[in-house]
Structure 1
Amino acid sequence: MSLEQDIKQERFTNEYEKMVVNILFTSSWIYNMNSARFKQHSITPEQYNVLRILRGSNPKPMMLADITCRMIDKNSNATRLVEKLRQKGLLRREICESNRRQVDISITEKGLAVLKKIDLETESWLEPLKVLQKNEAQDLNHLLDKLRG
């Protein structure tokens, strides 16, 4: 279905305006698919992002500022996300022994187990996106990188 049909708008000022609306609309569409995917694991896409970041540094703990700068959505409240994940037992926060002002954050075994379950579902979750051929996905990645560059 075309963007025009999806949002019921016949015209755009120009192709650049349409491109921006299309990126925003598609981003929201993917976000909603992700939300539904993670809901069964009782986490949000933003919490998933934090867990993936922590898994990438595991077993080395991270500071909140380092997590924040790696997050996809820079507007997310990382402090709140970390606390919610701590309450669920998916990560731990500990005062650094060598610097009492530093809080080290690391993923727990329970957090790793949740990510492992999600990883097993990833291939089937990606299936609807495979309407694009691999080379088309590479081209799209290149174009999006170029746009941000």
Structure 2
Amino acid sequence: MRIDDEIQSTNFEDNYHKAAINIAYTAGWLSNFFKCHFDKFNLTQQQFNILRILRGQYPNPATINLLKERMVDKMSDASRIVDRLIQKELVSRCTNNKDRRAVDIRISEQGLQILSKMDEEFRTKDFLKNNMSEEEAAALSDLLDKLRG
């Protein structure tokens, strides 16, 4: 559906304004869509993001700073999110052997299992290919990269 119809407005200053509104609206729309899938596993989008980063690092640990650098939502409090994941027993925290001041974060077997279940249940690719071709997805991704400059 067109952004004009979604927000019931055609009052845009120009196409740049319309594009900015459309990007913001679509970000919220995607967030709400994914939230349903995260809720089934009692996770937030930020917790899921950290688990995915840690799975990518596995079997090596990650530091809080690495998690902050790689998170999609840069405004998130990575330390607090890790604390919640520790309470859920999806990650563990231990002292770094090389630098006692640093803390290593490692995904647990339970965390790996949850991500595996989530992978089986929902694939972003399957959702996106219902609405656009792979070439269109590549073009959209390139345009968003260009926007961020």
TM class by shorter-chain length? over 0.9
Q: Determine the C-alpha separation between the residues in 2 that align with 1:90 and 1:4.
A: 42
The residue correspondences of 1:39-50 to structure 2 (distance < 5 A) are 39-50=39-50
In the other structure, the counterpart of 2:35 is 35
1:5 deviates by 1.1
In the other structure, the counterpart of 2:107 is 107
In the other structure, the counterpart of 1:74 is 74
In the other structure, the counterpart of 1:140 is 140
1:31 deviates by 0.5
1:128 deviates by 3.9
Secondary structure of the residue aligned to 1:93 is strand
In the other structure, the counterpart of 1:94 is 94
Which stretch has the larger CA shift, 92-101 or 132-141?
A: 92-101
Deviations 1:32-79 (A, max 9, x none): 111111100010111000000000011111110110000000001111
Q: Determine the C-alpha separation between the residues in 1 that align with 2:70 and 2:101.
A: 21
1:11 deviates by 1.8
Deviations 1:2-43 (A, max 9, x none): 111111112200000100110010010000111111100010
The residue correspondences of 1:59-70 to structure 2 (distance < 5 A) are 59-70=59-70
* Structure richer in helix, relative to its length: 1
In the other structure, the counterpart of 1:118 is 118
Letter in 2 for 1:127: D
Unmatched segments (≥5 aa) in structure 1 = none
In the other structure, the counterpart of 2:84 is 84
1:98 deviates by 3.0
Q: Determine the C-alpha separation between the residues in 2 that align with 1:145 and 1:34.
A: 22
Unmatched segments (≥5 aa) in structure 2 = none
In the other structure, the counterpart of 2:126 is 127
Q: Determine the C-alpha separation between the residues in 1 that align with 2:126 and 2:70.
A: 26
TM-score (norm 2): 0.95
Secondary structure of the residue aligned to 2:61 is coil
Q: Determine the C-alpha separation between the residues in 2 that align with 1:53 and 1:75.
A: 16
Structure 1 segments (4+ residues) deviating >6 Å: none
1:126 deviates by 4.2
In the other structure, the counterpart of 1:57 is 57
How many residues align? The count is 148
Letter in 2 for 1:110: Q
